[in-house]
């Protein structure tokens, strides 16, 4: 393997990964904080560094629709979006999954209107949770680079053929310049098999894509999609294993940080996890028995690994960077449900924060852990608590 360590903005590292994957078609519409990714790609195409068709569409709805078309003829396809863009795409996302088109997309996670807010938040991806896409979270530029290349492998694998979404926190990850180890084209070519759609739109072998299903057929089509998405787990693990062999960087559906023997586990998702790590380091030095668990694979949801990682603790404090208005916070809801059938259940506190780009520092995470423990002690753990609300 040949690699080179470079200081680069995460968005541009993602563009590099898309280039190294020798992507054929990019269809995208500008939206903050995703723009640097597609600007990077447009520049590569304009300079002849990447031989691809760049379709500057007139909306995110059309971006994903154009992706459906190019993926359906067998071209490797990429797009990126954020916040409202993802919501405008929502209708098309469902079709991408149900038609088994292996489009890869990065989402620079952003808050949802209203009020309008362009900053980081994970409410956008939570709104499309049930769209049938494989959904993966990353925490920094290196992981974004790695996961975009892995995403093509996973999505296009003949046993999967599902669109795959890599979630990157808007600004806090997307716009940060980091030290990233880049691979060269030859290494990526050796890792990533070419995309070949078995049933592509082809006049020599005409297929009909996108029939409607009456009540006598619809349930079966949904069952089929659900099964494929659940089973994609095997391929995801296999691709990550191969990636670890190649690069030495390991990924798991649920990842732990200094979580052994911890009585209290903090659960985070995405870029703020690195702030949480600092908090855990400090608290452990002070003799506190706390550890960190991070959700990497959001769909298909890794129930087994969640139970394994969390069931030994006495207290679990789940930090969601998204709000479900009028209901339980999305990640916490999933975790509670996964732990329900465990005999010795930890007590679970739900904290929501970091909305619309608000910082959550290591010191904040210390407070969040204390607050969670207090609420568990006071018997108020069932309510979702919003951290840092100014009264």
Would you say 30 or 356 has its CB closer to other proteins? 30
176 to 41, 75, 76, 139: CA distances (angstroms): 18, 31, 27, 11
Would you say 56 or 158 has its CB closer to other proteins? 56
Closest distance of CB 86 from other proteins, Å: 16
Instruction: Specify whether the CB–CB gap between 342 and 307 falls below 8 A.
Output: yes
Least Cα distance to 161 among 105, 104, 237, 80 occurs for 104
Helices (H), 105-197: 123-127, 141-156, 185-191
Binding map of other proteins across residues 101-140, x = CB under 8 A, - = no contact: ----------------------------------------
Closest distance of CB 202 from other proteins, Å: 6
Q: What's the token pair of residue 257? A: 């940080």
Would you say 25 or 331 has its CB closer to other proteins? 25
Instruction: Specify whether the CB–CB gap between 90 and 131 falls below 8 A.
Output: yes
Would you say 116 or 207 has its CB closer to other proteins? 207
Would you say 209 or 389 has its CB closer to other proteins? 209
Instruction: Specify whether the CB–CB gap between 156 and 97 falls below 8 A.
Output: no
Closest distance of CB 59 from other proteins, Å: 7
d(CA 35, CA 19): 16
- Told to check if 67 binds other proteins by CB under 8 A, we report yes
Give Cβ neighbours of residue 8 (< 8 Å, ≥ 6 apart). 16, 141, 177, 178, 180, 182
Considering only residues 15, 21, 68, 104, which one is a binding residue for other proteins as defined by CB under 8 A? 68
Considering only residues 3, 6, 69, 289, which one is a binding residue for other proteins as defined by CB under 8 A? 69
Map the footprint of other proteins across residues 210-249, applying CB under 8 A. Answer: 210-214, 217, 221
Closest distance of CB 223 from other proteins, Å: 14
Binding map of other proteins across residues 198-217, x = CB under 8 A, - = no contact: ---xxxxxxxxxxxxxx--x
- Told to check if 11 binds other proteins by CB under 8 A, we report no
Closest distance of CB 17 from other proteins, Å: 18
What is the bridge-based pairing of β-strands 177-183 and 104-109?
unpaired
Considering only residues 20, 92, 265, 331, which one is a binding residue for other proteins as defined by CB under 8 A? 92
Would you say 70 or 143 has its CB closer to other proteins? 70
d(CA 367, CA 365): 5
Q: What angle do CA 58, 107, 219 make, to 5 degrees?
A: 90
Map the footprint of other proteins across residues 22-61, applying CB under 8 A. Answer: 22, 24-25, 27, 51-53, 55-59, 61
- Told to check if 99 binds other proteins by CB under 8 A, we report yes
- Told to check if 159 binds other proteins by CB under 8 A, we report no
What is the total count of residues that contact other proteins (CB under 8 A)?
47
Considering only residues 1, 30, 74, 181, which one is a binding residue for other proteins as defined by CB under 8 A? 74
DSSP state of 327: S
d(CA 132, CA 110): 20
Would you say 212 or 340 has its CB closer to other proteins? 212
Find the helix packing angle between 215-247 and 141-156, rounded to 10°.
130
Closest distance of CB 128 from other proteins, Å: 15
Closest distance of CB 152 from other proteins, Å: 15
Provide the phi-psi class of 210: left if phi over 0, else alpha when psi is between -120 and 50, else beta: left
Closest distance of CB 241 from other proteins, Å: 29
Would you say 76 or 296 has its CB closer to other proteins? 76
Would you say 65 or 256 has its CB closer to other proteins? 65
Instruction: Specify whether the CB–CB gap between 94 and 162 falls below 8 A.
Output: no
Provide the phi-psi class of 118: left if phi over 0, else alpha when psi is between -120 and 50, else beta: alpha
Instruction: Specify whether the CB–CB gap between 183 and 20 falls below 8 A.
Output: yes
d(CA 367, CA 387): 9
- Told to check if 62 binds other proteins by CB under 8 A, we report yes
Q: What's the token pair of residue 55? A: 């379709």
Would you say 210 or 326 has its CB closer to other proteins? 210
Q: For the chain, what's the residue count?
A: 391
d(CA 325, CA 282): 33
Which residues of the shown chain bind other proteins in the complex (CB under 8 A)?
Answer: 22, 24-25, 27, 51-53, 55-59, 61-63, 65-75, 77, 91-92, 95, 99, 201-214, 217, 221
């Amino acid at each position: 393997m040949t690699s080179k360590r470079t200081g680069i903005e995460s968005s541009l590292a993602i563009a590099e990964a898309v280039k190294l994957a020798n992507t054929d078609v990019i269809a995208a519409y500008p939206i903050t904080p995703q723009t640097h990714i597609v600007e990077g790609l447009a520049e590569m195409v304009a300079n002849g560094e990447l031989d691809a068709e760049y379709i500057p569409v007139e909306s995110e709805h059309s971006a994903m629709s154009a992706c459906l078309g190019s993926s359906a003829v067998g071209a490797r396809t990429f797009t990126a979006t954020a916040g409202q863009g993802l919501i405008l795409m929502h209708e098309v996302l469902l079709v991408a999954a149900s038609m088994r088109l292996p489009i890869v997309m990065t989402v620079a996670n952003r808050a949802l209107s209203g009020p309008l807010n362009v900053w980081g938040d994970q409410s956008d991806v939570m709104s499309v949770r049930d769209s049938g896409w494989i959904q993966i979270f990353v925490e920094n530029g290196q992981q974004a680079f790695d996961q975009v290349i892995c995403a093509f492998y996973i999505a296009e694998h003949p046993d999967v053929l599902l669109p795959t979404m890599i979630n990157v926190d808007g600004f806090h990850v997307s716009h940060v310049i980091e030290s990233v180890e880049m691979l060269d084209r030859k290494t990526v070519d050796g890792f990533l098999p070419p995309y070949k759609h078995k049933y592509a739109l082809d006049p020599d072998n005409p297929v009909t894509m996108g029939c409607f299903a009456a009540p006598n057929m619809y349930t079966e089509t949904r069952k089929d999609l659900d099964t494929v998405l659940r089973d994609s787990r095997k391929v995801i693990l296999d691709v990550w294993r191969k990636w670890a062999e190649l690069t030495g960087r390991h990924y798991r559906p649920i990842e732990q940080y200094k979580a052994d023997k911890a009585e209290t586990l903090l659960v985070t998702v995405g870029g703020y996890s690195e702030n949480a790590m600092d908090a855990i380091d400090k608290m452990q030095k002070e003799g506190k028995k706390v550890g960190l668990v991070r959700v990497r694979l959001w769909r298909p949801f890794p129930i087994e690994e969640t139970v394994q990682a969390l069931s030994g603790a006495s207290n679990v404090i789940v930090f969601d960077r998204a709000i479900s208005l009028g209901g339980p916070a999305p990640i916490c809801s999933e975790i509670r449900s996964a732990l329900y059938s465990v005999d010795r259940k930890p007590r679970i506190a739900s904290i929501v924060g970091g909305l619309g780009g608000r910082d959550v520092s290591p010191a904040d995470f210390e407070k969040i852990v204390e607050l969670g423990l207090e609420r568990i002690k006071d018997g108020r753990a069932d309510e979702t608590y919003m951290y840092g609300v100014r009264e």
